[in-house]
Amino acid sequence: MTIQDAIKKAIDGGYKKKEINQCTIWFIHENAFDGKRDCFVIDNSYTDQHGERHKKAIHYAKEIVFLDPLFWQCLGKAMGWGKLISGIWIGDWRKHWHDFIDHLAEGKSAEQFFKEKEK
């Protein structure tokens, strides 16, 4: 899977659910910010009762997303890395998160990691 697929799966698993539910559109945008960092964007733009368009986009740098335990919990839920017990998701998302960190420490890319997770 691609990084975009992983973020979409985490969103499907509940990541940033409140922000996503309040927005008109969300998307993953390459080379946002200063052209050097990839991010995913939640666009909370809306049109008010007077027809005026208000724009408010929230940018999440992928580097920050990958440090968020909630991202890994939600990705784990979507990927089936565990099970729901008494309304609480119990999974081995931490193992995958640590594997990701080890993968990066070995000089490999995030893209490679998620591509290998698809297999």
Residue 8 has pLDDT above 70, yes or no: yes
Residue 119 has pLDDT above 60, yes or no: no
Residue-wise pLDDT for 27-56, tens only, equals 666 555 555 556 666 666 666 778 777 676
Residue-wise pLDDT for 68-109, tens only, equals 999 999 999 899 888 777 877 677 888 999 999 999 999 998
Residue 111 to residues 94, 114, 115, Cα–Cα distance (Å): 19, 6, 6
Write down the pTM of the prediction.
Answer: 0.75
Structure tokens at 96: 């995958």
pLDDT value, residue 26: 65
